[in-house]
Amino acid sequence: MAHQMLTQLLMMLLIAMVAIVLLRRLKLPPLLAYLFTGVLSGPAGFNWISQNTIHSAAELGVVLLMFTLGLEFSIPKLWSMRRTVFGLGSIQMLLTALLVTALALTFINDLHQAVVIGFAVALSSTAIVLKLLSDNGQLAHRHGELAVSVLLFQDLAVVPLLILIPLLAEAEPGEFMPLLGVALAKGVLAFVALMSVGKWLLPRLFDEVARSRINELFVLSALVVALTAGVATYWLGLSMALGAFLAGMMLGESQYRRQLEADIRPFRDLLMGLFFISIGMLLDIGHLVSVWWQLLLLTLVLMLLKGLVIIGLMRLAGENLKTSVATAASLAQMGEFSFVILALAVSQQLLASDIANLMVMSGVLSMAFTPTLIRIATRKLPRFSTRKISPAPAKGAIGETQVLLLGFGRVGQVIARFLKQQQISYRALDFDPMQVYQGRAAGEPLFFGDAFKRAILKQAAIAHAETIIITFSQHPHIDNLVALCRQLAPDSKILVRTRDDKQMTKLKQAGADLVIPEVLEGSLMLVSQVLHHSGVPLSQILRLLENERRHQYPYLHGYFSAQASDLAYEQLFALPLAAGAYIVGKSMTDIPWDNLEIKLSNVRRAGTEQAVDEAWQFAAGDVLLLQGIPSKLERAEQWLLTGL
């Protein structure tokens, strides 16, 4: 039985994987792929797995989603945007919900169900809208700013909705307001208790966790905090999602916010995928196909109604028509939280499953229409748009900058001082919590985060940095970081500091524009001083140094060594050829230098260095100066002398 369930689960994940790839090519969100997988896996499809099997995991997905949502909320940020967030956002939500509720009541003789539908339609998709606006470079336009502000309020409004829906299900006639009062009191109690304890405890907890430098412990701590807060609010008779949201808010102002979000994201995305699969299992495609034209009409009517509300509000706020239409096109669809609200209402027996099916499919269609709507509405936007804000990073990003420093140790700080002196903007990432704490206290634009994580680099706006400097040299997988930086920032200059020349070629191949080995650069500085004191003109010294750097330090690779600890470095080895040596009488082209993985630096004959070309023939008594790592030199010596 367990083996059969595992096989079915594997098939379900394979379908989801293929569907995500295909929808990605069509520029549609992964959410639709999960719903499609749920349809195939549920009763309407192959009936591989029951919804109850994945229900608990799906609920955890919602909890983690609310935790990361809390991380993104900053009270000072919300207050600075209060006019658009709380003004336009609240009116849009309430007015849309009111009109849709009134429309629903003409078809459904149940106020509670109509209210659920009204608020579900009022919500929009944060993930889809931000992705489309970012891809089209429109986050910096006025309609992008307005859309993001409204989305912020909608995300915030989800929290009271998660409390309101269970109350609607429980309340008998005349009991709703007393129950609402009790729930609000519990919510305030939970907020005060969690904030009081969390603001004191959580920073100290994560300081200790961060000092350990154990990534698994950081992830585990984040999960424990989110779930503990969720259990605390659940114990009070409230939603687990509320507790997770409050826990996220507590950590939202800490220096660990970006790292927490990056660490939680894989778990959240996987579990949310299961959540949307579980919703897909509820869909009766056969029934929906039979009413396809009613479904299409419903979707168009709801999108039009919501769009007209947004256009009207934007015009009343003084926005021009084109900006108003573009904002409406961006927000006309239903969102991920709409499905969360609908699923919660069904589980509370507040909403009939056939109505929920219809609304979910309507939401799916509205999401599918959104890319085309935005493209049409914004096609000639620059000509008509009269207001444009200065470019800003996506929600949660650190910000744009000229130089991004990865690592803020001694080298990173020295670079920062010179950049500051020349008024060149920079930001820095570091994984040492004390370093970050002290740097931020001193006013440095320094942020905590693991530079090897894709999500952290994206939040650092790496794609907009002109120059990326990797300042730490003792990590064994620097080449992986270079490759990741090159992938995320194909047009940026990448400079890498290394201890020596062991990884120069590998780092160059990974995408580094310039590799600076400390040992070789130190040697060059010493050489320059020696030449200067020996009377060599400064211009000639500078040319010599530039030539060395341009050609990757050819004079500095390899050296004579008798130390066993230097086995990983390139060394020089003098090999005299006796009369019976295998290569005596052979030419340069007869020797497979590439296969031997060594270089011939020069040849001395009769005590004189010779100019060696392709026609050169080796003779007894020649001394070959070979360059390579010891293991390769040893094998090459055997072949050159014996041919074996």
- Residue of higher predicted confidence among 500 and 304: 304
The partner residues of 367 in beta bridges, in order of sequence, read none
Please name which of 256, 253, 251, 241 lies closest in space to residue 190, comparing C-alpha atoms: 241
Does the pLDDT at position 394 exceed 50?
no
For 404, residues 6+ apart whose C-beta sits below 8 A from its C-beta are: 426, 427, 428, 429, 460, 461, 462, 465, 467, 468, 469
Amino acid at residue number 204: R
Kindly provide the b/e burial profile for residues 156-185, where b requires at least 16 CB atoms within 10 angstroms of the residue's own CB.
Answer: bbbbebbbbbbbbbeeeeeeeeeebeebee
Range 142-164 average pLDDT: 83
For 388, residues 6+ apart whose C-beta sits below 8 A from its C-beta are: 140, 141, 142
- Which tokens in the block code for residue 640? 């050159």
Check residue 129 and give its pLDDT.
83
**pLDDT confidence bin for 41, thresholds 50/70/90:** confident
pLDDT digits (tens, 9 = 90+) for 599-634: 887 888 887 777 788 888 888 888 888 887 777 888
- Residue of higher predicted confidence among 438 and 269: 269
Cα–Cα distance measured from residue 375 to residue 136, given in angstroms and rounded to the nearest whole number: 9
Cα–Cα distance measured from residue 47 to residue 6, given in angstroms and rounded to the nearest whole number: 14
Q: 3-state DSSP: the chain helix, strand, coil percent, rounded to 5? A: 65, 10, 25
- Residue of higher predicted confidence among 394 and 181: 181
Cα–Cα distance measured from residue 508 to residue 518, given in angstroms and rounded to the nearest whole number: 16
Give the CA distances from residue 516 to residues 420, 469, 541, in Å, rounded to whole numbers and listed in that order: 22, 11, 19
Lowest-confidence pick of 270-284, 477-491, 614-628: 270-284
Q: Tokens 């748009």 sit at which residue?
A: 385
Cα–Cα distance measured from residue 472 to residue 112, given in angstroms and rounded to the nearest whole number: 59
**pLDDT confidence bin for 389, thresholds 50/70/90:** very low
Residue 640 CA to its chain's centroid (Å): 52
pTM here is 0.58
- Mean pLDDT computed over every residue of the chain: 79
Contact 333, 369 (CB under 8 A): yes
Cα–Cα distance measured from residue 357 to residue 120, given in angstroms and rounded to the nearest whole number: 13
Range 424-437 average pLDDT: 82
Does the pLDDT at position 396 exceed 70?
no
**pLDDT confidence bin for 2, thresholds 50/70/90:** low
Strand 571-576 relative to strand 623-628, pairing: antiparallel
Domains defined for the chain, CATH in brackets: 46-384 (1.20.1530.20), 403-512 (3.40.50.720), 564-642 (3.30.70.1450)
Please name which of 142, 491, 568 lies closest in space to residue 314, comparing C-alpha atoms: 142
Angle between helix axes 257-280 and 2-25 (nearest 10 degrees) is: 110
pLDDT digits (tens, 9 = 90+) for 84-114: 777 888 899 999 999 999 999 988 888 888 9
> Would you tell me how many other CB atoms lie within 10 Å of the CB of residue 587?
13
**pLDDT confidence bin for 191, thresholds 50/70/90:** confident
> Would you tell me how many other CB atoms lie within 10 Å of the CB of residue 371?
19
**Identity of the highest mean pLDDT range in 59-68, 95-104, 123-132, 229-238:** 95-104
Does the pLDDT at position 312 exceed 80?
yes
Check residue 303 and give its pLDDT.
93
Using a pLDDT cut of 70, give the percent of the chain over it. 84
> Would you tell me how many other CB atoms lie within 10 Å of the CB of residue 28?
19
State whether the Cα torsion 334-335-336-337 is positive or negative: negative
Q: 403 by DSSP, 3-state: which?
A: strand
Within 353-502, residue ranges assigned H as helices are 353-377, 381-384, 410-421, 433-441, 454-459, 478-488
Check residue 95 and give its pLDDT.
94
Strand 467-470 relative to strand 446-448, pairing: unpaired
pLDDT digits (tens, 9 = 90+) for 510-535: 888 888 887 777 777 787 778 877 88
Cα–Cα distance measured from residue 428 to residue 511, given in angstroms and rounded to the nearest whole number: 20
Please name which of 194, 119, 131, 125 lies closest in space to residue 157, comparing C-alpha atoms: 119
Check residue 640 and give its pLDDT.
87
DSSP 45: T
Lowest-confidence pick of 116-125, 184-193, 286-295, 317-326: 184-193
Greatest Cα pair distance in the chain:
111
Sheet holding 493-498, edge to edge: 446-448, 426-430, 403-406, 467-470, 493-498, 514-517
- Which tokens in the block code for residue 520? 């070789």
Taking the CA atoms of residue 448, residue 451, residue 453 and residue 458 in that order, the dihedral angle to the nearest 10 degrees is 80
Half-sphere exposure of 552 (CA within 13 A, CB side): 15
Contact 494, 419 (CB under 8 A): no
Range 344-363 average pLDDT: 86
Check residue 26 and give its pLDDT.
77
Range 273-281 average pLDDT: 78
Contact 359, 116 (CB under 8 A): no
Does the pLDDT at position 195 exceed 80?
no
Does the pLDDT at position 284 exceed 80?
no
Lowest-confidence pick of 84-88, 439-443, 460-464, 494-498: 439-443
Check residue 171 and give its pLDDT.
62
Check residue 78 and give its pLDDT.
65
